[in-house]
């Protein structure tokens, strides 16, 4: 499963968003996601497995708890892929800025 497929699922994106705020226990993630998406704990556990297996997250054990942290490597790969398109929106931003400058001058 490729990095973009992993990000294709809204549940996994949400989990990554939670992890972007720092290390999270499996329990915290599961209850947050269950509340938002109304899926079983098993479903969440399976998404966590995908994130582990594709390198988006790593785990460490602490007693029975499992603490997840994001690993940015695959996210970085996605970002690198996007590089080739970046000039397109910076062009658009430039155009927007020009437009803004023009509007300001008119005042």
Partner DNA sequence: GACTTATATAAGTTCATCCTGACATAGTCG
Partner DNA sequence: CGACTATGTCAGGATGAACTTATATAAGTC
Read off the tokens for 20.
């972007």
In the complex, the smallest distance separating the C-beta of residue 14 from DNA, rounded to whole angstroms, is 10
Report the residue from 13, 49, 60, 87 that binds DNA according to the rule CB under 7 A.
Answer: 49
Distance CA 14, CA 32 (A): 9
Give the other-Cβ count within 10 Å of 1's Cβ. Answer: 9
How far is residue 44's CA from residue 21's CA, in Å, rounded to a whole number? 18
Q: Which is nearer to a second copy, 35 or 88 (CB)?
A: 88
The site partner of 66 among DNA, a second copy, none (C-beta below 5 to 8 Å per kind) is: DNA
Asked whether position 17 contacts a second copy by CB under 8 A, the answer is yes
Distance of CA 5 to the CA centre of its chain: 12
Which two structure tokens, joined as six digits, stand for 47? 């998404």
Contacts with a second copy, residue ranges (CB under 8 A): 2, 4-5, 7-8, 10, 13, 16-17, 20, 70, 72-73, 75-76, 78-79, 81-82, 84-86, 88-89, 92
């Amino acid at each position: 499963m490729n990095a973009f497929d992993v990000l294709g699922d809204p549940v996994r994106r949400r989990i990554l968003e939670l992890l972007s705020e720092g290390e999270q226990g499996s329990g915290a993630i599961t209850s947050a996601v269950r509340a938002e998406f109304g899926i079983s704990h098993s479903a969440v556990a399976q998404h966590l497995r995908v994130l582990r297996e594709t390198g988006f997250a790593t785990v460490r054990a602490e007693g029975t708890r499992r603490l997840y942290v994001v690993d940015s490597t695959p996210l970085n790969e996605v970002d690198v892929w996007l590089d080739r398109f970046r000039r397109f929106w910076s062009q658009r931003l430039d155009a927007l800025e020009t437009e803004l400058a023009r509007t300001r001058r008119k005042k």
